[in-house]
Amino acid sequence: MAVIKAAILGFGTVGQGIYHILNEKREALREKLGVELEVAKILVRDTSNERIPGTQHLLTDNIDEVFAEKGMQVVFEAIVNEEPAFSYLKQAIENKCHVVTANKVMFAKRGLELQTLAKQNGVFVGYEATVAGGVPVIKTLKNILLVNDVSCIQGILNGTTNYMLTKMRKEGWSFEEALLEAQRLGYAEADPYNDISGQDAFKKLMVLSDLAFGEQPAWAEVEVIGVDTISAEDVKVATEQGMRYRHVAEVERQADGKIVGKVAPMLVDREHPLFPIDDVFNAVAIDTNYIGTLTVTGPGAGMYPTASVMVEDYAEIIGKRAGFVVTI
């Protein structure tokens, strides 16, 4: 059977999840796609740490070794920050590899550039995992956009802060108590700045804006207000009034065509689609001209939800490229 060689860049939470799923679903994927996928290289910084038994021989800390591998056709990227991730994926695309990424920091800034380059090179870019982890919001939006116009998107795009707001409401915890528990459970990083400040949600919002509107608002014009502006007392008062605080990332096309965005705590009533979304869940509500408002919800992060949508991206790409070059 034809074999497709793949590389995994980054072998932390997400990278290892991809490896596990590709192994567990090997036969099912082979049957469905008619090709065998072989993970041929795994890029990390520290090759002395094996992480998953039996993978030591695949590890490298040298990207040139990844691209020197004959017949490489798919690159999964799960490293952090804009660089070197962007340069690696650019090189992969120029080498005619399909790429699948989870890296929202890189993709918020360079996503359109990579997609243009991919078109020129006849390959595909999968980026479902960059927004809301396991929630299939990119797929859903792409389908909707075939027929509908999207006017506004509102999302809970950060599970950590949604967990904190939920606990502040249900348990009466202070912001600090909720943050400590989120860190203890591994939801929040030791440095929770990106979650709390809204920067994490902002990056995901920019990816959604690119897709829905073909452009982003000027970053400097997007107001980004952190969830740390909400106190236990604010939450208590809101609850007494039948309202809930959500940390909402919102982007819309105004009547004059201008795209405007905002990330901020928002009070929502029980009629609002984001009202029932509790704990670490993410949700995205999309306003359209024909369907009305459509809301998708699910787990926004984690090893398996995130890796699963990346493997789905791979399967979709292979499906699209039924007649592409494979190595035997």
CA–CA dist 171, 232 (Å, integer): 10
Across the chain, how many H-helices and E-strands are there? 12, 12
- Residue 129 near ligand NAP by CB under 6 A: yes
| CB-count exposure of residue 57 (10 Å: 0-12, 13-18, 19+) | exposed
- Residue 306 near ligand NAP by CB under 6 A: yes
Q: In terms of CB distance, is 46 or 191 closer to ligand NAP? A: 46
CA–CA dist 86, 268 (Å, integer): 37
**Which residues within the stretch 1-40 sit at the binding site for ligand NAP (CB under 6 A)?**
10-15
Q: Which two tokens stand for residue 36?
A: 């065998």
Minimum distance, C-beta of residue 114 to ligand NAP, in the bound complex (Å): 14
Q: Which residue among 301, 311, 317, 318 contacts ligand NAP (CB under 6 A)? A: 301
- Residue 310 near ligand NAP by CB under 6 A: no
H or E stretch covering 126: strand 125-126
Q: In terms of CB distance, is 133 or 252 closer to ligand NAP? A: 133
Strand 281-288 relative to strand 293-299, pairing: antiparallel
**In the annotation, is 32 catalytic?**
no
Question: Cβ contacts of residue 196 below 8 Å, gap of 6+?
Answer: 160, 161, 179, 188, 226, 227, 228
Q: In terms of CB distance, is 3 or 52 closer to ligand NAP? A: 52
Minimum distance, C-beta of residue 107 to ligand NAP, in the bound complex (Å): 9
**Closest residue (Cβ) to ligand NAP?**
12
Catalytic residue from among 167, 203, 204, 262: 204
CA–CA dist 224, 282 (Å, integer): 18
- Residue 299 near ligand NAP by CB under 6 A: no
Minimum distance, C-beta of residue 289 to ligand NAP, in the bound complex (Å): 30
- Residue 104 near ligand NAP by CB under 6 A: yes
> Which of the residues are catalytic?
204
